[in-house]
Structure formats: C-alpha cells, structure tokens
Amino acid sequence: MVDVVQEERAPAPSGGRRVWTSLTSFVGREGDLDRVRAALADRRLVTLTGPGGVGKTRLALAVAAEAGSAHVVELASVTHPSQIAPAVATALGVPDQSNRDAVDRVIDHLGGQPALLVVDNCEHLIEGSVVLLRRLLEALPDLTVLATSREPLGLWGEQVHRLAPLPVPGDPDAAGSRSLDEVPAVRLLLDRARSVLPEFAITPANRAAVVELCRRLDGLPLAIELAAVRLRTLPVSQVVERLGGRLHLLRAPVRDAEPRHRSLHALIDWSFDLCGDDERLLWARMSVFPASVDLETLDGVCGYGELDDDRLLEALDGLVGKSVVLADRDGETVRYRQFVPLREYGAEALARSGETVDVRRRHRDHYIRRAEAMIDRWCGPDQARDLAQLRADHPNLIAALAFSAETPGEAVGGARLAAQLRYHWIAGGFLTYGRRWLERLLPQLDPDSAQRGEALWVVAWVALIQGDRAEARTWLAECSRLAHARGDLAMQGHAAHWTALLHLFEGDLDDAIACYGRAIALHRRMGLHGPELTAAFQLAMAQTYSGRSHAALATAADVVERATAAGELWNRGYGRWIAAISHLHLGQLDRAREAILATMQIERDFRDGVCTALSIEVCSWISVAGGRAADAATLSGLARSVWRRLGTSLAAFGPHASAEGREHAARIDAALGASRAEALREEQADVALPDAVRRCIALAGSGTPRPSAAPSGDPLTSREREIAALVAQGLSNRDIGERLVISRRTVDGHVERMLRKLDFSSRTQIAGWVAGRSG
C-alpha cells in the first residue's frame, strides 16, 4: 500500500486555517500509522522521536490528514520560547487582536471540542514546549497532542513512539517471503527514483547495489530521497561507490551521534560537494529563511556578488533539480523552501563563510523595503493582496526582527521594520507579535530619534486596539513631546491622531473631535491619504456619539467616496460601519442595514476581526430596532463569539459604544425574555470568524426590502444601462470612466440621473436592479 500524505503549508490569506497541499507518496509506514493511531486513542500526549530525516513530520502529517479536526503547528522557525504560544495561536487561526495571553486565547478557541494538535519540531525548544503543552492539556480535557522531537518531552503521561528508519534488505522484519521491491526502504528508493527516471527498475545487474545503498543509508527516508536524485545521472553502483568513501570522513561535531544521523550528514556532505559553486553559495544563503519565500525575495536577499543577474536563477534551478530546494506551486505562484536538516547544514556553511550577519541584514532590509512599499500603496486596491503576502512571510518577518533585537547595532532597522508592519499587526491580525517586538526594540533606540517617535505611536495604536489605554497614554505623551521638539509635522499628526482615539475610547468626545481636526489637517498637509481617511472615519464615530449624526454621515460618506475612488477596502468598510450607526440613530433602518451589509461583504474577504465583531454588533442593533428580536439575539451571540476569540469586547471601544450595546441587549431580552434570548446567543458560542460573517450576511440580508420596482418600460438610456452593469460589477466611477474612456464627472452625472429615475438612494440598489433584470 502506498498512501498519499499531505503536508502543511503557510497560513492561508485569511489568516485562519492551514493550506494542505499534496506531497509525494507516503511509503512504508503503515505499521507506524496503526501504532500511532492506537496510542492516540489511549493517551492524550504522544511524541514521535527519532533522528533527523527519519520521517517524523511526514508521519505526523499523515495522522493529521486522517483526523480531520487536526491543527498543525510548525516550530522549526520559532527561535525563542516566548514565541511558541503565539505561533500556536497563529497556526490555529486565533485572532491576535487583544492583549490577552496567547495561551488563554488558544484555550478559549479549542474549548469544548475534541481536537488533535500536532506540534512539529520541538527539539530546540523542549522546556518552552513542555510548559505550553502542560497548560493546554490541563485546561482542555478533550485535547490530544501529537508532538515530534528528536528527544522525548518528559511530560507525565507522555507516550513515546520512537520512529525507526525504514527496514532495509537483511533486516529481520524485511526478510521472509517478500521480494526485494516490497522491502520499505527499497520501495521508497524505487518510488523516488522513478519520479526523476521513470524507467528505473531493479535488475539482476543493479540488485546488489540497490541493497547496499539502502543499507549504507540505514533506511533514513530523507537520505534515500536525496540519493534517489543522483540516479538521474549515475548508476546505482557509482552512487554507492561515491558515498562509501564518506562514511568515515565525517566532520565533527555532529549534533546527533547516532550512526544513522552520521549517514544522513555524510549524504548531505556529498550532495553539497556535488553542487556547483553558485549552487553551494545559494544553499548557504537560503538558510536565513525559516519558511518558504518567493523568487523576488530570494533574488533580493541572495542575488548579489557571485549570484547577481541570471546566476541566481540558474543556481536555484540546479538546487530544485537536486531536491535540495522544494518548489511549492499554487497556481502561478511558486515559493521555495528547504527541509530543516538541509537548512541547518546550509547555516553551518554560511557561518564558515563569514557571511551570516551580512545575509541576515540583507534579509531584514528586504522586508523593510517590502513593508515600506505596502505603506506607500496602502490606500489603494492592493491591500488584501499585500496582507496575504505578509501573512505568508510572517515567519521570515519574525526572524528579521529577532536578528535586529539580538544583534548589536541593528535595533534601528528592526524598529523601522516593526513600525512599517503596522497594518500587518492591526489589520492582518498579529497584534501580540507587533506589540512584543516594538516593546523589545524601543529601549534600544535613541530617545530623541525619529525612529523612536514612529515606534511610539505605532505601539500606542496597537495597545489601544487591545484595550490597554494606560500604556498608550504614556507612549503618546512621549511621542507628542518628541514630535514637537523635532518640529516633525508628520509625527505630530500621528501623535494627535492616536491621542484622539484615546480620548474617544475614554469617552471624551469633544477632546477627541478637536484632536481629530488637528490630525486630519496635518495628515492632509503631509499628503498622508490613508491615515487621513482612518482619522476621518474615527472622527465620524466621535460625531455620531456626540449627537451629530448628520455631520457623521457627511464625514463617513466622504471617507467611502474617497476610499472607493482609490480602490481601497479597509477604510471603506469602517466608513460604512459608522454610517450604519448614524442611520440607526436617525431611525433610518433600511439605510443602516444597507450600509452594514456593505461592510460585511468587504469583511467576507478582508476578515479584520475587530471590524467584523463591531459590524455584527450593529447588525444586531438594527434587527432589534426593526422588530426582529430573535435574529438580533442570534447576531448578538455571533458577535459575542467573535469577541471571545479576539480576547476583547465592545467595552474596549469606549463607554458610548458599550452603553449602546447594553441598551440593545436589554431590548432583546425584553422582547424575548432573558432566558430565551440567552439561549439563542449561546447557540452561536463556538462559531468561527468566516462562518460568523456568512451567518450575519444571511440574517441581516433577510430583512432587506427588495429594491424599489423601476417604472415599466426601462427608463434608462443605453449608456446608462451600460454604466449600471459596470456599477453592478463593483467598479468605481473612476474605473467606469477609464473603461468607457469618458471623464469621471460624466460618470457621476449618469449615476445621479439613474438614481433619480429609478427612485434609488444607493449604488447597491442599482446593482440589485441589474441582477433582477438579468435573473
């Protein structure tokens, strides 16, 4: 039997579930699979141990693929015990948008449901792994853990399954009546050899060499895979001959003194020596990447000196051909990675070359440039794509920050990177990471520097979203003093902006409105369009809670119009959210529902946890105001579920929003009775973020009146119908003008006339009208 195993990859763009991609066939581990299944049925902690390259990860992922409810955490890229719990939270898709301990958030996320947690590559973080797993197992009686490590964890109740290399010809359990090609090590060699040489077969001429090769490699799967690549250019006998002279010439020290590990090291030695100079250099330089990377990043970090121009691409092609580098394809996207033993070997080679610090600095500086490019184009159509790319690069970002914090003289670059990653922390869902690294780097910065000022307002922003106002107040006071001392207008604008949010969250609405006025003026003066829109939608929140709903609607409409024209989604979603609250305050329930549905449609793809929770709250308020108390209770439960996963609540967003939430909750209880209302809320207790978005759209949308019927005979001109169709596709007026080669002002006029003719108040209704006609 040859099973297909699947291997876990980087977090999906949604930031939640892992992406599983088909790998090569899984050979010779049927008995181990059965034994591990049985162990997991009997014990809550099973640890797979064995030397590097023996296949612990492959077996663990095969078990996970069968389990269905498994979560996979890969620790090879984690460099410090403090990063273990956040890595687990990230792998599980637990939103990182509060200041609660990551372990508490994981416990809440997994509570009440049976689950298998696979924790891979624990050996370099044994103590930290033990602390985390003990806490999880004690708090979660339905949790089972499958760990992989080169040594046991030593936890009470641990069942250790030592994974032996594959049986080789001559082993007692490989003997008997089975033919040679049924011996597991030989089966694997045949499978991998045929992937590079389809006609490869065991013949009387090569039979003895095949047996000798599998024996010399001690049945280690990774060693067999590396050797199989050589069969593309060499007969088996020459592979054995060239390998044989290396087994007594091993470099010392070798981390694992077992003969089998020395065999793997010898084979990697040989693979390294068989590479050309450029390939060896790229292999070494690639060791700075703890996770997969794209070609642009490889070129930016490694493509210098001897690897400039096309030489890097040629070297990469050679390493992929030799199975030293794996190419993971997702459509037209290709990312490159190495197995851990090969990366560790490359790190040793890089250290011998003396290039380690230089390459790690280039690695960090590459991600600074990438983050800065994201900031430059943030207020545009690339937001979701940029966030998805940074999510995929998250382990590399953490490695770059660790280098900066731990290497003398590199803190300024690290703080620059951490500050430029602000949308990754805030909108991407990695608040705990952002705050931890900013706080770690701040003490290393010159107290009068511009870099410290930027780091101060970014860490204050993170703290405010987490509900930690006291720390934010201290940091913002220092940032404001520094900004005025330096005469730095951009920094003054940011200090005023986040001080305004502090006032808003503390309930000081007049102070907040005044601060927002200063911040918006300074942002506009400095040409910072994205921050200006963010400050504006927050100003609209302050306006509506100070009783100025019409002013809030005007402010929010300006945000939505400008964001739509720029093609951006983040500020547009929040603008619609605050518009919904303002319409609700004015008793305009249909417009409120329409606005909040527009936000939820954005969040279906964008998945900003905070905006999602806030919007579901508002959906609940609109529903109870419209007499749909049961739907309102269900929506309230969905919001509670999202807040619980975020580790925060509506109270973090100030006393006015919190009071409104309590008022609507009381109306729901009064309409349904407290017991029934609470029962409806609790039914939604364990809903994940994507499902919460879908359920909210379904519930809120069910109360939306059908678009007003257009007068008979279709009142639109042919040009207006053409523009209406483009509106239905989601194009902005600017996009429509470019598509039709007419001015935006002309498009604006057509849209206004269509709204009047059809007696509509929004573009959404135009889209519905188009859909109705096409249906």
The pLDDT-based confidence of 278 (bands split at 50, 70, 90) is very high
CB atoms within 10 A of CB 50: 23
Quote the tokens at residue 517.
């006025």
Q: What residues have CB less than 8 Å from 158, skipping those under 6 apart?
A: 43, 45, 46, 47, 152
Cα separation, 599 vs 583, in Å, equals: 14
Give the predicted TM-score (pTM) of the model. Answer: 0.73
Q: How many CA atoms lie within 13 A of 430 on its CB side?
A: 31
Whether the per-residue pLDDT at 423 is higher than 50: the answer is yes
pLDDT above 80 for 184: yes
Q: Which amino acid is at 599?
A: T
Instruction: Select the more confidently predicted residue: 99 or 258.
Output: 99
- Dihedral sign of CA atoms 6, 8, 13, 17 in order: positive
Pick 333 or 352 by higher pLDDT. Answer: 352
Q: For residues 558, 560, 566 and 569, what is the CA-based torsion angle, rounded to 10 degrees? A: 150
- Output the pLDDT for position 262: 56
Nearest to 571 by CA among 559, 561, 581: 559
The average pLDDT across 146-154 equals 89
pLDDT of 706 reads 36
* Residue partners of 225: CB distance under 8 A and separation at least 6: 188, 192, 323
Query: In this model, does residue 335 exceed pLDDT 70?
Result: yes
User: What local confidence, expressed as pLDDT, does residue 399 receive?
Assistant: 95
| 482's tokens | 């520094």
pLDDT at 772: 63
pLDDT at 722: 83
Q: Residue 754 in contact with residue 736, Cβ under 8 Å?
A: no
Band (pLDDT 50/70/90 cuts) for residue 80 is confident
Percentage of the chain beyond pLDDT 70 is 90
Closest CA to 619 of 651, 602, 654, 594: 594
Q: How many CB atoms lie within 10 A of CB 258?
A: 15
Q: Does position 13 have pLDDT exceeding 60, yes or no?
A: no
Q: How far apart are CA 733 and CA 751, in angstroms?
A: 8
Query: Quick one: how far is CA 393 from the chain centroid?
Result: 8
Q: Per-residue confidence at 24, pLDDT binned at 50, 70, 90?
A: low
Does the structure show a pLDDT above 60 at 176? no
Task: Considering only CA atoms, give the Rg of the chain.
Answer: 30
Quick one: three-class SS letters along 254-266? CCCCCHHHHHHHH
pLDDT tens for residues 432-474? Answer: 899 999 999 999 999 999 999 999 999 999 999 888 999 999 9
542-573: pLDDT as tens digits: 999 999 999 999 999 999 999 999 999 999 99
Tokens of 347: 């790190």
Beta strand 2-11 pairing with 18-27? antiparallel
Q: What is the mean pLDDT of residues 570-596?
A: 95
pLDDT score at 639 = 95
Can you tell me the distance from the alpha carbon of 77 to that of 4, in angstroms, rounded to the nearest whole number?
A: 25
3-state secondary structure of 429: coil
Among 308, 314, 236, 248, which residue's Cα sits nearest to residue 275? 314
Question: Minimum mean pLDDT among 25-29, 239-243, 335-339, 624-628: which range?
Answer: 25-29
Burial class from Cβ neighbours inside 10 Å (0-12, 13-18, 19+) for residue 304 reads middle
E strand segments, 109-220: 115-120, 143-148, 158-162
Count of other CB atoms within 10 angstroms of residue 186: 28
Alpha helices (H) in 488-569, listed in sequence order: 489-506, 509-526, 529-545, 549-566
Taking a C-beta distance cutoff of 8 angstroms, is the pair 680, 688 a contact? no
CA distance 101 to 432: 9
- As a whole number of angstroms, the distance between CA 499 and CA 398 comes to 28
Alpha helices by DSSP H, listed for 117-255, are 126-139, 184-196, 207-216, 221-230, 236-244
Cβ neighbours of 522 (radius 10 Å): 23
Q: What is 367-400 written as a DSSP string?
A: HHHHHHHHHHT-SSTTHHHHHHHHHHTHHHHHHH
* pLDDT at residue 568 in the model: 93
DSSP 3-state helix, strand, coil percentages of the chain (rounded to 5)? 65, 10, 25
* 612 against 734, higher pLDDT: 612
The amino acid that residue 344 corresponds to is: E
Q: How much is the pLDDT for 25?
A: 61
> What is the phi/psi pair of residue 243, to 5°?
-75, -35
Confidence check: pLDDT of 362 > 60: yes
Q: How far apart are CA 286 and CA 133, in angstroms?
A: 31
Burial of 608 (0-12, 13-18, 19+ CB in 10 A): buried
Mean pLDDT over each residue of the chain, to the nearest integer = 86
Pick from 630, 595, 594, 596: nearest CA to 613: 596
Burial of 592 (0-12, 13-18, 19+ CB in 10 A): buried
Query: Two tokens at 542?
Result: 């302050």
Lowest mean pLDDT among 450-459, 623-632, 644-653: 644-653
* Residue bearing tokens 């918006």: 520
pLDDT reported for residue 84: 92
Q: What is the mean pLDDT of the segment spanning 276-301?
A: 95
Is pLDDT at 592 greater than 60 in this prediction?
Answer: yes
- Give the single-character DSSP code of 141: T
φ, ψ (nearest 5 deg) of residue 151:
-145, 155
The answer to whether residue 8 scores a pLDDT higher than 60 is no
Q: Is the pLDDT of residue 744 over 90?
A: no
Task: Give Cα separations from 765 to 281, 305, 330 (angstroms).
Answer: 60, 59, 37
Structure tokens at 296: 């642009």
Question: Contact, 28 vs 187, CB < 8 A?
Answer: yes
Q: How confident is the model at residue 626 (pLDDT cuts 50, 70, 90)?
A: very high
Given a cut of 90, whether residue 110 has pLDDT beyond it is: no
Confidence of residue 704 (pLDDT cuts 50, 70, 90): very low
User: Residue 666: which residues within 8 A CB-CB, separation 6 or more?
Assistant: none
SS (H, E, C) 714-744: CCCCHHHHHHHHHHHCCCCHHHHHHHHCCCH
336 forms beta bridges with: 293, 327
DSSP 448: T
Interval 278-289 mean pLDDT: 97
